[in-house]
Structure 1
Amino acid sequence: MASIPEEYHDLFERPTIAHVSTTLPNGYPHVTPVWIDYDVEENLLLVNTERERRKELNVRDDPKVGVSMTDPDDPYRRVSIFGDVVDHTTEGAREHIDELSQRYTGQEYTEANEIETERVLLKIRPKQVF
């Protein structure tokens, strides 16, 4: 098991966009930009999504993911992670999307078409960090 080096923790405290790669049923990669969080204590990357979104469906069948982040202020400072989704839960997901929205937009999460939908928190355990 690997963890995110401390010198990269700041990327999770700022509005850094991550790209998450999952595997489609036909074997091709599916890459999508996401807001991301890191639970240092549990060593888990946190991706918040809506139930039935493609990435959420993909990790049900294959929990292996790749995550890539680039420092918005320095494109040569980056981190890439391979890991497994070890849990996907609705518990705390709605509150978590509000926290992420504050970091990324400075406002509560108010996507009109998603306000009533079920949120899912994908918890990713890093296996390799580059």
Structure 2
Amino acid sequence: MTTIPEEFRDLFEKKTFAHLSTLLPDGTPHSVPVWIDYDADENRLLVNTVRGSRKEQNARETAHVAVSMTDPDDPYRFLTVRGEVVELTEEGAVEHVNRLAKRYMGVEEYPRLGEEDGARVMLRIRPNSVTTGDPGDD
């Protein structure tokens, strides 16, 4: 089983922005910056979005995705994951986006809750391939 290396899990505790790449219906790539989280117990990357967003629609159509991120403290240290969206769920999505808002914004509740057109949804991504880079490895 492919997992996130222990020495890179700190990226999920910082204000690390990731880029989620999905495929559009015509097969061309779609890449957007996202807040990112990791469920180590289940070995799943977690991305939160609103139901009906382009990334949610793309993941429903083609489950294969890629996620890349660089350490906000050292842009030469990175983590790239190719994986598969194994679940799209509303269960726990509001609580999850509130936890992310606390990390990324320093607020207790995501400020746009209720302003959006759809429900919150969480993409649970199983890593199939992990690539890392660290300038300290040289």
Please give the range of the TM-score, normalised by the shorter of the 2 chains: over 0.9
Report the secondary structure of 1:111's partner residue: coil
3-state DSSP of counterpart to 2:19:
strand
Q: Write the mapping of 1:63-102 to structure 2, written as runs, cut at 5 A.
A: 63-102=63-102
Matched, 1:121 2:104: no
SS of the residue 1:25 aligns to: coil
Is the Cα–Cα contact under 8 Å of residues 20 and 65 in structure 2 kept in the other structure? yes
Contact 2:18 2:35 in 1 (8 A): yes
Q: Does structure 1 residue 38 correspond to structure 2 residue 38?
A: yes
Q: TM-score when scaled to structure 1? A: 0.96
Q: Supply the distance in 1 between the matched residues of 2:92 and 2:41 (Cα, whole angstroms).
A: 17
- Alpha-carbon distance, 1:111 to partner: 1.5
Residue 74 of structure 1 deviates from its aligned partner by: 0.4
Q: How does 1:42-53 map to 2 (within 5 A)?
A: 42-53=42-53
Once the 2 structures are TM-superposed, how far is the Cα of residue 117 of structure 1 from its aligned partner? 3.3
Q: Give the aligned partner of residue 58 of structure 2.
A: 58
1: CA distance between counterparts of 2:15 and 2:74? 14
- Number of paired residues? 129
Structure 2 stretches lacking a partner, 5+ long = 132-138
Deviations 1:4-51 (A, max 9, x none): 000001000111000000000000000000001000010000000000
Choose 1 or 2 for highest CA Rg.
2
1:28 counterpart residue number:
28
Deviating above 4 A after TM superposition, structure 1's stretches of 4 or more consecutive aligned residues are none
Superposed CA RMSD in Å reads: 1.0
Q: Taking structure 2 as the reference length, what is the TM-score of the superposition?
A: 0.91
The 3-state SS of whatever aligns with 1:41 is: coil
Q: Does the residue aligned with 1:100 lie in a helix, a strand or coil?
A: helix
Matched residue type, 2:122: L
Percent identity, aligned pairs only, is 57
CA distance in 2, matches of 1:75, 1:43: 24
